[in-house]
């Protein structure tokens, strides 16, 4: 063992102790009684949320959400914070990140996205109906499997199954399973949820085996995990370079696409729409859905607004950011289960994942100027190796803020995402 290896080992040992201690001390602060109360209230709230959503009646959910919010505030107070009560919750998902920092990232991004969305309307709308024909499930499965193979997902250490809400399960580094879902009338659904979950799985498969079972044997954070799935799903999987290559697999399985060019497919899978539902949102509108939720929950946790005002505030923000207002709360404030779960502080992870992935991609391209060419040749190996070396192999040794700085040379900066969006969607909408 040389000095560098020794130093590296020391760093790992220190991280194991630090991460383990932080986690232990965090949860030690919360009284067992409160934990119990949170569990009971959130399971009741989830049942009420389902009923409220079905009946499209926020009042059914309201008292339960009030209870969950009250307990979550108590928990945040036990966890402790310096500036903002929401910091205590954010830290559960994105260790080290402060609400004030998040707000600084959101402000320019929101302004950019609202303006850019208006700009896209002057462009040429892609024809996304080509992805919404009838596609037999067996054939969709074949296409998804080919995409996973291309990504070098390790099938000897995993498998793909079906689930309503796709997810990734890690049983160990040798067994990382993913699920996908199929919609006979929409090819995007299965292909992109498979690639997304494949991205999560590659991260898990790339965490060093010797970290397994230790506090560092995990992804750096929810958002870093999401940066991996979104990198493969959006930056790679929705790129023109990807379709220049994958087109031959697509027409092999679905010959009807012979009538379309790879460029038409690239444009169709990047169709932008002002819509109500977060999980169906495209890359341009997605973060606006998240900002709205973040602003609401941060205000709620800090007692600046009340649960009873949520439907109204929700609709007002939808109008402001996306220019549309849902007719039903089931398509608005009631659409996500997160608040019933008590998962306040979770939503920003999705947005941060998008931002991190664009920042990583920028650095990756600097390190590997041939990257786009390689992707258009179906060679994803150097992209994967870069992620392995810079992100996967580090497990949870570093806090996400430290990791991003170490990998890209600067802290989280939303400008890379904005550049990425503009660059890509100007092509999609021929601006």
Closest CA to 360 of 200, 239, 228, 241: 228
Task: Please say whether the dihedral angle defined by the alpha carbons of residues 256, 260, 263 and 269, taken in this order, is positive or negative.
Answer: negative
- Smallest gap from Cβ 132 to Zn ion, in A, equals 23
Residue pair 205/154 in contact (Cβ under 8 Å)? The answer is: yes
Q: How far is the CB of 139 from Zn ion (least distance, A)?
A: 25
111-150: contacts with Zn ion (CB under 5 A): none
**Pair 46, 340: CB distance under 8 Å:** yes
Near Zn ion in 81-100, by CB under 5 A: none
Residue 327: DSSP 8-state: S
- Nearer Cβ to Zn ion (85/293): 293
The residue number with the shortest CB distance to Zn ion is: 229
Least distance (Å) from Zn ion to the CB of residue 126? 25
> Angle at the Cα of 210 (from 209 to 214), degrees rounded to 5?
105
Least CB distance to Zn ion at residue 226 (A) = 5
Neighbours of 319 (CB within 10 A): 11
For residues 278 to 317, the per-residue mask of contacts with Zn ion, x marking binding by CB under 5 A and - elsewhere, is ----------------------------------------
Of the candidates 94, 197, 226, 233, the residue annotated as catalytic is 197
CB nearer Zn ion, residue 61 or residue 203: 203
Identify residues 61-80 at the interface with Zn ion (CB under 5 A).
none
Q: Which is nearer to Zn ion, 231 or 339 (CB)?
A: 231
- Residue 360 CB, shortest distance to Zn ion, in Å, is 16
Q: Which of 62, 59, 90, 63 is nearest to 75 (CA)?
A: 90
Q: Which of 94, 183, 110 is nearest to 412 (CA)?
A: 94
**Residue 193 makes contact with Zn ion by CB under 5 A:** no
**Of 42 and 229, which has the nearer Cβ to Zn ion?**
229
What lies within 8 Å, CB to CB, of 9 at 6+ separation is 1
Residues 6+ apart with CB under 8 A from 335: 53, 276, 277, 278
What is the C-alpha to C-alpha distance for residues 411 and 414, in angstroms, rounded to an integer? 10
- Among left, alpha and beta (phi > 0; psi -120 to 50; other), residue 305 is beta
Q: Are 359 and 376 in contact (CB under 8 A)?
A: no
What is the Cα–Cα distance from 405 to 423, expressed in whole angstroms?
24
Beta-bridged to residue 161, according to DSSP, are 179
Nearer to Zn ion, 98 or 200 (CB): 200
Considering beta carbons, is residue 190 or 229 the nearer one to Zn ion?
Answer: 229
Q: 402-421: which residues touch Zn ion (CB under 5 A)?
A: none
Count of residues engaged in binding Zn ion, rule: CB under 5 A:
1
Residues 228-267 binding Zn ion (CB under 5 A) are 229
227 CB-contact burial (10 Å; exposed 0-12 / middle 13-18 / buried 19+): buried
Rounded to whole angstroms, how far apart are CA atoms 262 and 244? 6
Q: What is the DSSP letter of 285?
A: T
Considering beta carbons, is residue 194 or 229 the nearer one to Zn ion? 229
Least distance to Zn ion from the beta carbon of 205, Å?
A: 15
CA–CA gap between residue 228 and residue 349 (Å, rounded): 12
197 is known as an active-site residue: yes
Residues 211-230 that bind Zn ion (CB under 5 A): 229
Cα 413 from Cα 416, distance rounded (Å): 7
Of 84 and 205, nearer to Zn ion (C-beta) is 205
Q: Which residues bind Zn ion (CB under 5 A)?
A: 229
Catalytic residue positions, numbered: 197
């Amino acid at each position: 063992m040389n000095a560098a290896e020794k130093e590296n080992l020391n760093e790992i040992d220190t991280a194991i102790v630090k991460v383990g201690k932080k986690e232990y001390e965090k949860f030690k602060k919360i009284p067992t009684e409160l934990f119990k109360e949170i569990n009971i209230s959130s399971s009741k709230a989830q049942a009420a949320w389902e009923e409220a959503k079905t009946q499209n009646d926020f009042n059914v959910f309201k008292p339960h959400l009030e209870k969950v919010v009250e307990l979550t505030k108590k928990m945040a107070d036990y966890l402790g914070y310096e500036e903002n009560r929401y910091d205590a919750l954010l830290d559960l998902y994105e260790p080290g990140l402060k609400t004030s920092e998040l707000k600084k990232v959101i402000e320019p991004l929101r302004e950019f996205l609202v303006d850019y969305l208006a700009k896209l309307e002057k462009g040429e709308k892609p024809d996304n109906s080509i992805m919404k024909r009838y596609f037999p499930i067996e054939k969709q499965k074949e296409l998804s499997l080919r995409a996973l193979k291309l990504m070098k997902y390790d099938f000897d250490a995993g498998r793909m199954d079906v689930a309503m809400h796709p997810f990734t399960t890690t049983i160990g580094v040798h067994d990382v399973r993913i699920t996908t879902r199929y919609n006979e009338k929409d090819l995007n659904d299965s292909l992109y949820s498979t690639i997304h979950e494949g991205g999560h799985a590659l991260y898990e498969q790339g965490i060093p085996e010797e970290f397994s079972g230790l506090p560092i044997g995990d992804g750096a954070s929810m958002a870093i995990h999401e940066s991996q799935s979104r990198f493969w799903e959006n930056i790679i999987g929705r790129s023109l370079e990807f379709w220049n290559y994958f087109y031959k697999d697509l027409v092999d399985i679905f010959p009807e696409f012979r009538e379309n060019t790879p460029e038409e497919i690239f444009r169709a899978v990047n169709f932008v729409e002002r819509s109500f539902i977060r999980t169906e949102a495209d890359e341009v509108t997605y973060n606006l859905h998240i900002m709205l939720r973040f602003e609401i929950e941060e205000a709620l946790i800090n007692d600046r607004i009340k649960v009873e005002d949520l439907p109204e505030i929700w609709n007002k923000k939808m109008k402001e950011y996306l220019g549309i207002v849902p007719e039903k709360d089931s398509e608005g404030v009631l659409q996500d289960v997160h608040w019933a779960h008590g998962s306040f502080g979770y939503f920003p992870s999705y947005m941060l994942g998008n931002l991190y992935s664009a920042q990583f991609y920028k650095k990756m391209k600097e390190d590997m100027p041939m990257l786009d060419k390689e992707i258009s040749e179906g060679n994803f190996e150097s992209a994967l190796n870069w992620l392995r070396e810079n992100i996967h192999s580090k497990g949870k040794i570093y806090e996400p803020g430290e990791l991003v700085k170490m990998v890209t040379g600067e802290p989280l900066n939303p400008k890379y995402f904005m550049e990425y969006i503009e660059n890509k969607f100007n092509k999609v909408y021929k601006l």
